[in-house]
Amino acid sequence: MKPFDPTDQSILLALQRDARQTMAELAEHVSLSQSPCWRRVRQLEDSGVIEGYQARLSRKHLGYGVTGFIHLQMENHTAEIAAAFEREVVALPQVVACHNLSGHYDYLIEAIATDLEAFSTLVRNKIRCLPGVKEIATSFSLKEVKAAGSLPVTG
């Protein structure tokens, strides 16, 4: 990956703050005219640095009152089991993130539910039944201190 110049850094930071701004607003913010700004944004998109744009939705306003973290240990570590597990976990809409880990547990799932009963149903009827799952340990978020947000951008 090539280092970002200060203008690219400014573009990336500005888009992370507000991806809905017009190209004219973005160009003004980073002190470029619209055409060069548009070209830089397009290059950042084409290179994969900008993966996409999406709205941040409120879990609370959508009725998701429970966020849980599910640590999973797998029965075995074959490529076939891992692929089947990952394919099925990606398809679960309540799963908002899943990471393959080092250490005692193999995966960490962040999942949401409307309430504890719905979360319990998710774990019992879906997560426990995923291919290769041996052990489950669950923790619940008591308070979100910092949400996934902007990434640091350096040169």
pLDDT tens for 78-131 read: 999 999 999 999 999 999 999 999 999 999 999 999 999 999 999 999 999 999
In a shared domain, residues 32 and 87: no
The CATH number of the domain where 35 resides is what? 1.10.10.10
Segment 119-131, tens digit of pLDDT: 999 999 999 999 9
At how many degrees (to 10) do helices 34-46 and 6-17 cross?
A: 80
In eight-state DSSP terms, residue 148 is: S
Segment 136-153, tens digit of pLDDT: 999 999 999 988 778 888
Provide the domain limits for residue 75. 66-140
Q: Is 70 domain-assigned?
A: yes
Q: What is the pTM of this model?
A: 0.86
In a shared domain, residues 35 and 76: no
Q: Which residues have CB under 8 Å from 14's CB, separation 6+?
A: 21, 26, 29, 30
In a shared domain, residues 134 and 99: yes
In a shared domain, residues 23 and 83: no
Position 1 confidence tier, pLDDT thresholds 50, 70, 90: low
Q: Is 115 domain-assigned?
A: yes
